[in-house]
Chains A and B, each alone.
Chain A
Amino acid sequence: MVANLQANTNRIKADKVVSSTCPYCGVGCTLQLHVKDDFIFKVTSPFDSPVNQGNLCVKGRFGYDFIYHPKRVTTPLARRYLLEGKPKPKGREQVFAVSKDGKPIPDSQISNDWDWVETDWDTALNLVADNLVRIYKRDGSDAMAVYCCAKATNEDNYLLQKMYRALFRTNNVDHCTRLCHAGSVVALQQAVGSSAMSNTASQVIMNDVFIVTGSNTSENHPIIALQMKEAVQKYGAKCIVIDPRRIDLVDMAEMWLPLKPGTNVPVFSAMAHVIVKENLINHEFIAKRTEGYNEFVESLEKFTPEYAQELSGVPAEDIRKAARLYAGAKNGAIYWGMGISQLSHGTASALALIHLAFLTGHIGRDGTGLNPLRGQNNVQGASDMGSMPFHYPGYMRVDNEENRAKWEKAWNIEAGGLSLKLGLTTTEILSHAHEGGVRSLFIMGENPMMSEPNLNVVREHMQELEFLVAQDIFINESGAFADVFLPATPFAEKDGTFSNTDRRVQRVRTAHPPRGLSRPDWQIICDLALRIESRLGVDTAHWTYANPEEILREMGSVNSDYAGITYERIEKVGLIYPVPSLDHPGTPTLFKDDFPRGKGKFHVLDYVPIREEPDDEYPFILTTGRLLEHWHGGTMTRNSALNEAYPEARVEIHPADAEIHGIRNGDPVKVSSRRGEIVVRATVTEKTSIGVVFLPWHFAEAAANLLTNDALDPQAKIPEFKACAVQVFPAREKDLAHPDVVVNRGRY
């Protein structure tokens, strides 16, 4: 007898289903968290979600299990020396129990003063307040610095920058946007006066031609890639991929222009050259909405397609074809990623792209636009919240007295109290970590020991810090250097908002209570700020909020982009800012009538080669990037089943290069640059070009950023992650960090 009419008795039924927003990439997919006994056992997505139409990627659908990982820290921790009132032990090598030459230090030589000791919140927060105030009183504002967090909520970020600006009077506030899209942000600020995607990602189906460049969209913004594929397959759009790697999107692209890393400016400028020479320009748009055209055209003279071919390896004829295709489109759009910005000329790269939109007028209408695909779930929001050294929330310059007065009023600060001095950027904060420079650092959720270039030097800077606080969910590679660890909660244990890559502000909701003693970031910051204020003996800047919405309202009262956003209005569907008033419906397409700076500005550009060209000794260009299964420094994904789906770093090398060096697929190889070396397995594949090798940077045991070059873009201060010179030689199995771990995947 069949028992189909009786339900399976083992079946789990959710106690509740909580709607929230994905904590991984900037797409901002809607998640429904199915919770049973305070444990999320399933994630689904509603098919009517305007962002992702029910589709998710592996991270969003399955990658939430880090919440329950046994390594998660849910009790405040302090180093023994702090709790016992001893002086700080000298040197921080002991933290890793590894000496400078990389050899383990015997246990007998390690001081137990560095032990982590579990403690209570009062003790931990008092230690942090005491030490930060001590350093501030001794060395002043310039000794204080903070990393905000592009994974945390808008509310968390707003409060943390407020704490440092209002209490320590410093603008040394930054976050990882410096390491991903700073080049694009600066270029867009210079050219149009704004710094976000001009259109929404779902408008890609309205394009008839679109350029994807410097973005492996299928792996880094998987849901936007689906929309791109749909645009091509179902709506007849034509896609032009300009990228050194043969990424998945090439399969359905009309054209692929495989340029040598770092030759963006000549390739895009040559496209501009063709557009101008063949009179494919939009005369009306250029006359009405841009300035600097004539000078710009003069500067294009030398950027012939042949010149670009010589530098980039892309056939001149393909450059011509691509230029004609884009210029001839009814609705053309450009989507770009870090392959544009992460260069020592990242700002120029992005400007060269922006020029293409100016010349053709493919901006300011639905289905066109300039669209930098933002990396993190809330990197847009963290930037909007003023987690940056030059801007208050709403991109209000800190060196402007009017702006300063507005925030002084909002924060109950005496007139002239806030600093007008531009702060240090992420990269500069660490390089200023020395006597007389930055002495203390507060890190919320970031992991500079994975994400900064040239990690061997970063390590020395971290060791120079006098006092380091880590507020996170795991002790990651950077938290290992901390003096106090404050256990925060992940996205599923707090309320707030994230702003996604296309400026949509969406709710994050509590699915279950914080585990252990951990607390939501915003509560930790408020508690700490009050303790700091009492030690400083100053008027309060207001730190008592009944809920996160009050925080957002305080911010929106000064930052008009968010003025019309309330939790009630975004209960079901997020709003796309600018939302200047409570009855404003949001702004999916920017720049319809004009640009924030008035006219779009053309810039004269020159070709600047990458800082470290390959040579006989280091013959390959290394370019770095991300994998579908992993997320940045790996704090979340390496503590998840995602790590089982892709457990090791592999270096991609072209078959022609592999043959010369006697490297077979799967062989261990040593990849070294002038700054460091790692051993990984090789993947021999035509996905990469001849002379170029690719490494993902998620893996601490083979950290790609040991090799990368810390040369900076002069304007954006973004490091050159995308190109440095390396050598690749066969290595031995036993040199691998985990010889028994082998990735075996058939995906792209």
Chain B
Amino acid sequence: MAGINLTIDNKEVTAGEGKTLLEVARENGGNVPVICYHDATTANALCRVCVVEVEGMRVLQPACIVKAAEGMKVQTKSEKVVRSRKTILEMLDSTMDLSEADEIQHMMKDYAVQENRFPDAERRESEVKDDNPMYVRDYSKCLLCWRCVQVCAEDAQYTYAINFEGRGYETQIGTFFDKIIPETSCVLCGQCVGVCPTGALKPKRQFLLEQGVSPNEISVMNTGRKKRKERK
């Protein structure tokens, strides 16, 4: 069978046509960490934690989108790679609330992340948005992995209710014209909740339970924010 020959961490491997370095590494037992990547969404190389070093290429390459090519020599845990991943994790840690991102916390331990590496960093704080009966949005915990936007669009739902808003550091996930969720095209399917890696999106019931509201209280309460607009 014809295949693409390359080396990963000095080991000779054969890859199928069109496979990404992430896929090839996984097929060969390698462990490349990912944050924004999800098997059910289109890889977008946003978080850059999956970077690998490819001989002859000037900068580190995101393994989730770079395709395997003949003769490539790939290092998935060189010093440069490890330092880069560690720095990304430290920057995330300095600017957002990762308290419910289990996988990232494990990664931080694996990469011996230095806590409070950037003490002057401005943290991305945001109020919990509670505007619909089904889920809450806490963008203090959002690392902009884009998965929610992707599943709301072509990766699952074709609803296009949310997208990036703002620029640069101010970038956040939002709705068009900052409408509350029920008034957007949102169908409350919660595909976004299903792929959120950090707990920024959370079912309302879980949120209430964590706030100390008892199951019995939750069962009798009206969970939708009372927002009935005056008509006409």
- Complex formed: what's the CA distance from A519 to B132 in Å? 34
- Complex formed: what's the CA distance from A200 to B126 in Å? 45
Judge whether B10 is part of the interface by a CB distance below 8 angstroms: no
- Complex formed: what's the CA distance from A134 to B190 in Å? 52
Query: Given A58-B190, A641-B134, A641-B204, are A742 and B229 also a contact pair (CB < 8 Å)?
Result: yes
Contact with B along A64-104 (1 / 0, CB 8 A): 01001110000000000000000000000000000000000
A55 close to B191 (CB less than 8 A): yes
A748 close to B134 (CB less than 8 A): no
Query: Given A62-B188, A746-B183, are A644 and B223 also a contact pair (CB < 8 Å)?
Result: yes
Within 8 A of B (CB), among A158-186: none
Contact with B along A707-748 (1 / 0, CB 8 A): 000000000000000000000000000000000111011111
Chain B residues contacting A744 (CB-CB under 8 Å) are: 182-183, 227-229
Interface-facing stretch out of A5-13, A141-149, A326-334? A5-13
- Complex formed: what's the CA distance from A62 to B2 in Å? 48
- Complex formed: what's the CA distance from A275 to B99 in Å? 63
Within 8 A of A (CB), among B200-232: 203-206, 209-212, 215-216, 218-220, 222-224, 227-229, 231-232
Closest CB in chain A relative to B218 CB, distance in Å: 8
Residue of A with least CB distance to B205: A41
Closest CB in chain A relative to B148 CB, distance in Å: 13
B115 close to A2 (CB less than 8 A): yes
Contact with A along B134-163 (1 / 0, CB 8 A): 110000000000000001001011110000
Residue of A with least CB distance to B134: A62
- Complex formed: what's the CA distance from A55 to B134 in Å? 16
Closest CB in chain B relative to A628 CB, distance in Å: 6
B205 close to A58 (CB less than 8 A): no
B203 close to A645 (CB less than 8 A): no
B228 close to A742 (CB less than 8 A): yes
Judge whether A37 is part of the interface by a CB distance below 8 angstroms: yes
Chain B residues contacting A741 (CB-CB under 8 Å) are: 228
Contact with A along B181-201 (1 / 0, CB 8 A): 011111111110110000100
A6 close to B219 (CB less than 8 A): no
Judge whether A222 is part of the interface by a CB distance below 8 angstroms: yes
A58 close to B188 (CB less than 8 A): yes
Residue of A with least CB distance to B179: A746
Judge whether B120 is part of the interface by a CB distance below 8 angstroms: no
B215 close to A37 (CB less than 8 A): yes
- Complex formed: what's the CA distance from A3 to B105 in Å? 11
Interface-facing stretch out of A42-50, A238-246, A288-296? A42-50
Q: Which of A36, A745, A748 has the most CB of B within 10 A?
A: A745
Chain A residues contacting B219 (CB-CB under 8 Å) are: 65, 68-70
- Complex formed: what's the CA distance from A65 to B221 in Å? 11
A645 close to B231 (CB less than 8 A): no
Residue of A with least CB distance to B123: A2
Chain A residues contacting B185 (CB-CB under 8 Å) are: 746-748
B186 close to A746 (CB less than 8 A): yes
- Complex formed: what's the CA distance from A57 to B189 in Å? 4
A10 close to B97 (CB less than 8 A): no
- Complex formed: what's the CA distance from A147 to B99 in Å? 51
Chain B residues contacting A37 (CB-CB under 8 Å) are: 215
Residue of A with least CB distance to B89: A4
Closest CB in chain B relative to A164 CB, distance in Å: 35
A61 close to B190 (CB less than 8 A): yes
B224 close to A645 (CB less than 8 A): yes
Query: Given A42-B203, A61-B193, are A233 and B224 also a contact pair (CB < 8 Å)?
Result: no
A4 close to B206 (CB less than 8 A): no
Residue of A with least CB distance to B202: A42
B40 close to A8 (CB less than 8 A): no
Judge whether A56 is part of the interface by a CB distance below 8 angstroms: yes
A41 close to B224 (CB less than 8 A): no
Q: Which of A5, A10, A58, A644 contacts B210 (CB 8 A)?
A: A10
Residues on A close to B: CB < 8 A?
Answer: 1-8, 10-12, 34, 36-37, 39-45, 47, 53-58, 61-62, 65, 68-70, 222, 226, 229, 233-234, 252, 628-629, 641-642, 644-645, 664, 666, 740-742, 744-748
Extra contacts, 9 of them, besides A12-B210, A43-B203 (Cβ < 8 A), are A5-B109, A7-B100, A10-B212, A42-B206, A58-B134, A70-B219, A233-B154, A644-B222, A741-B228
- A and B contact pairs by CB, cutoff 8 A, 12 listed: A2-B93, A7-B99, A10-B210, A10-B211, A11-B100, A45-B194, A55-B189, A55-B191, A56-B191, A222-B187, A641-B204, A744-B227
